[in-house]
Amino acid sequence: MIILKSDEEIDKMRQAGKLACKILDKVEALIAPGITTEAINELVERHTRENGATSAPLNYKGFPKSVCTSINDVVCHGIPSKKVFLKEGDIINVDVTPILNGYHGDSSRTFLVGNVSKEAKAITECAKKCLELGISAVHDGCRVGDIGFAIQSYAESLGYGVVRDFVGHGIGKTFHEEPQIYHFGKLGKGTRLTKGMVFTIEPMINERDWQCEILEDGWTAVTADGLLSAQFEHTVAIRNDGSVQILTAP
């Protein structure tokens, strides 16, 4: 069942989304060679609390930290650690989800650590473009497959793989709701998206093959071939006047 939101609820979600954006801006300023992913976790947790929110990832299905930090071949759900240091040339996705006044705002960006290879820069740019293309496909009455098609056709035209194992999702008072937003698909197919729906689009783009594996910790998803992966995520609403609003934009 898809839980439809009123414009009043969407306005509250915009506040949570704005906070997610602000937190990611803070993270961006911190990112540098030599910092630990635990330092990112501390900054996210502190900034979340200072703004009267809580971190949805913390203890979510047993996830041990307040944010996901996914470096290079880590596709998603990387766990912050004081043993993991950023180094020049890394790419790192940071995925934050504050809960503010009962509503979730879910967003992630991939950051470049110092100077990176042209491959690392290119896949990061592709993932960002994929999110933009996915959002551009959203309108009242569109199908989930329209979003997936926009993303998949672009990414594959550049030789990249689109991750199948993890998808975008409805969001609201709960972190993950229906519908599932596939980042691959066919035009005109899948669930119809209508007024009052709020969901994330969060394409994970792999350098070559889309296959993933989960590490022993039960969370960290990595590319099966050990190549790079990049991701960007926004929370998007179709308001009750039919307009599309990016809730996690500045």
The two three-digit tokens of residue 181, written as one number: 């937003």
* Binding of residue 231 to Co ion (CB under 5 A): no
Judged by CB under 5 A, the residue of 9, 45, 73, 95 near Co ion is: 95
Judged by CB under 6 A, the residue of 57, 134, 172, 203 near ligand MF3 is: 57
Place of tokens 């993303």: 151
- Rounded Cα gap, residues 168 and 233, in angstroms: 8
Sheet of 68-71: strand order equals: 68-71, 91-96, 107-112
Task: Please name every residue paired with 71 in a beta bridge, in sequence order, or none if there are none.
Answer: 92
Q: Which does 223 bind (CB under 5 to 8 A by kind): Co ion, ligand MF3, none?
A: none
Count how many Cα atoms sit within 13 Å of the Cα of residue 164 in the half-sphere of its side chain: 6
* Binding of residue 177 to Co ion (CB under 5 A): no
Nearer to ligand MF3, 60 or 85 (CB): 60
What do you get for the CA distance between the two ends of the chain, in Å? 30
Residue 81 C-beta: closest distance to ligand MF3, Å: 14
| Touching ligand MF3, residues 179-238 (CB under 6 A) | 200, 202, 233
The two three-digit tokens of residue 230, written as one number: 């990049």
Judged by CB under 6 A, the residue of 9, 45, 95, 207 near ligand MF3 is: 95
Binding mask 99-138 for Co ion (x = CB under 5 A): -------x-x------------------------------
Task: Please name every residue paired with 91 in a beta bridge, in sequence order, or none if there are none.
Answer: 112
Contact 160, 205 (CB under 8 A): yes
| Touching ligand MF3, residues 116-175 (CB under 6 A) | none
ω into residue 57 within 30 of 0, thus cis?
A: no
Place of tokens 């997936």: 148
* Binding of residue 68 to ligand MF3 (CB under 6 A): yes
Query: Helices in 97-239 by DSSP H: which ranges?
Result: 118-136, 144-157
* Binding of residue 60 to ligand MF3 (CB under 6 A): yes
Using CB positions, name the residue nearest to ligand MF3: 57
Nearer to ligand MF3, 56 or 137 (CB): 56
Contacts with ligand MF3, residue ranges (CB under 6 A): 57, 60-61, 63, 68, 77, 95, 97, 106, 200, 202, 233
Contacts with Co ion, residue ranges (CB under 5 A): 95, 106, 108, 200, 202, 233
